[in-house]
Amino acid sequence: EGTLGAAAAQSGRYFGAAIASGRLGDPAYTTIAGREFNSVTPENEMKTDATEPQQGRFDFSAGDRVHDWAVRNGKRVRGHTLAWHSQQPAWMQNLGGGALRQAVTNHINGVMAHYKGRIAQWDVVNEAFADGTSGARRDSNLQRSGNDWIEVAFRTARAADPGAKLCYNDYNIENWTWAKTQAVYSMVRDFKQRGVPIDCVGFQSHFNDDSPYDSNFRTTLRSFAALGVDVAVTELDVQGAPAAVYADVTNDCLAVPRCLGITVWGVRDTDSWRAEQSPLLFDGNGNKKPAHTSVLGALNTA
Ligand code: G3I
């Protein structure tokens, strides 16, 4: 197959990209995105600050622009994200305790009701664990509202849209030897044992010189899958976009039956949040880079 999405579909997987509503007017961008990918993650448009800018007043205009574009072009959508310490609207940043808990529950219910039945996977909770070696939860207003805030979010989400796969999503959990990976693994194991509704774990996979790709990523994907959840590569980009690393990540996903698919975090290097690292599959002129060839080759030989 000649495109990433069609090649991934041969094994029942998807190959997606983060899409920014502000770029949908750029025909060079939409031509590549429309052709290559069969899954879309709104890069910013479904985050809390975008969807509930004033408490209780939901705004789905930007999220709908991306969702409509995806549907018109035959792509599935990953929802990103419902509960996160970052990109909270000012009103939420100023909440804590029981008021914040109720606000998060209302937020999940409001957003998931709007998109009910139209989202394949939701990143229900994003980046709830601390960096470094502590294995602790990240300090935030959400965490200070009570350690069970994550499971409350998942239970709320399951009731709001029983058809969506519910994911926990994080970065620096790709390397099996890292404390953060083990901490998330323990949480997922505990959730599965206690019947907290979680369906998938998203591995963001922002690889760079400080947190490089390691071949034990495959062990990580396998180990989480063995807990009874699906896994997905949700925000892939790699400093310098080495073709070999992109092929390795692709083959790691293909080696794990419960790996649903791969999403790259942007279309062209110039669209990336880390543009200076040229981390994506297309250069600023829209030309395919060597990493594109290596990913496509891996998908087609699976
Ligand atoms: O929309 C405003 C614009 O009106 C304003 O003029 C401009 C000036 O700074 O800012 C624009 O908002 C920016 C937004 O991206 C849209 O471009 C924000 O400042 C900027 O902070 C925001 O960055 C996003 C970042 O998340 C925020 O945390 C990136 O685009 C987005 O790629 C990035 O994505 C995150 C994932 O959600 C979670 N995992 C990590 C990943 C990379 O940081």
- Ligand 1 atom at shortest distance from the alpha carbon of 47: 37
Q: What is the DSSP letter of 209?
A: S
pLDDT tens per residue, range 109-153: 999 999 999 999 999 999 999 999 999 999 999 999 999 999 999
Determine if ligand 1 sits within 6 Å of the CB of residue 204.
yes
Place of tokens 């899954």: 39
* 122 backbone dihedrals φ, ψ, rounded to 5°: -110, 130
Mean pLDDT of the chain: 98
Kindly report the protein residue whose alpha carbon is nearest to atom 34 of ligand 1. Answer: 43
Determine if ligand 1 sits within 6 Å of the CB of residue 109.
no
pLDDT of residue 262: 99
pLDDT value at 251 more than 90: yes
pLDDT of residue 56: 98
Determine if ligand 1 sits within 6 Å of the CB of residue 87.
yes
Q: What interface predicted TM-score (ipTM) does this complex get?
A: 0.94
C-alpha–C-alpha distance, residues 39 and 115, integer Å: 16
Nearest of 103, 110, 78 to residue 89 by alpha carbon: 103
C-alpha–C-alpha distance, residues 135 and 184, integer Å: 8
Nearest of 299, 297, 264, 298 to residue 282 by alpha carbon: 264
Assess contact for 232 and 200: CB atoms under 8 A: yes
C-alpha–C-alpha distance, residues 96 and 78, integer Å: 28
Kindly report the protein residue whose alpha carbon is nearest to atom 22 of ligand 1. Answer: 44
- Average pLDDT for 146-167: 98
Ligand 1 geometric centre to CA of 156 (Å)? 27
Determine if ligand 1 sits within 6 Å of the CB of residue 235.
yes
- At 285, the pLDDT band (50, 70, 90 cuts) reads very high
Kindly report the protein residue whose alpha carbon is nearest to atom 3 of ligand 1. Answer: 22
The rounded percent of the chain whose pLDDT value lies above 90 is 100
pLDDT of residue 302: 74
Ligand 1 geometric centre to CA of 44 (Å)? 6
- Average pLDDT for 59-73: 98
DSSP three-state, residue 283: coil
C-alpha–C-alpha distance, residues 154 and 126, integer Å: 12
Assess contact for 62 and 52: CB atoms under 8 A: no
Ligand 1 geometric centre to CA of 43 (Å)? 8
Determine if ligand 1 sits within 6 Å of the CB of residue 208.
no
Determine if ligand 1 sits within 6 Å of the CB of residue 73.
no
Return the amino acid letter for 166: L
Kindly report the protein residue whose alpha carbon is nearest to atom 29 of ligand 1. Answer: 273
Active site residue 43: no
- Average pLDDT for 259-266: 99
| H helical segments located in 4-79 | 4-9, 27-36, 48-51, 61-72
> Which residues lie closer than 8 Å to 210 by C-beta, 6 or more apart?
none
Based on the number of CB atoms within 10 Å of its own CB, is 110 exposed (0-12), middle (13-18) or buried (19 or more)? middle
pLDDT tens per residue, range 171-229: 999 999 999 999 999 999 999 999 999 999 999 999 999 999 999 999 999 999 999 99
